[in-house]
Amino acid sequence: MLYVITGPPASGKSTWIQAHATARDIVIDLDRIASALTGPGAPQWNQDPLVQRVAQRARFAAVDEAVKHRDEVDVYLIHTMPSPKARARYKHLGARIVVVDPGEDVVRERVRTMRSDGMDRVVTRWYRDYRKGGSRPVTAQASRTW
What does the alpha-carbon distance between residue 81 and residue 138 come to, in Å, rounded to a whole number? 14
Query: What is the pTM (predicted TM-score) of this model?
Result: 0.84
Residue pLDDT tens, the chain, 146 long: 999 999 999 999 999 999 999 999 999 999 999 999 988 888 777 678 899 899 999 999 999 999 999 999 999 999 999 999 999 999 999 999 999 999 999 999 999 988 677 788 899 999 999 765 433 433 344 444 44
Phi and psi at residue 67, in whole multiples of 5°?
A: -65, -20
What pLDDT was estimated at residue 15?
95
Backbone angles phi, psi at 43, to 5 degrees: -60, 150
pLDDT value, residue 138: 37
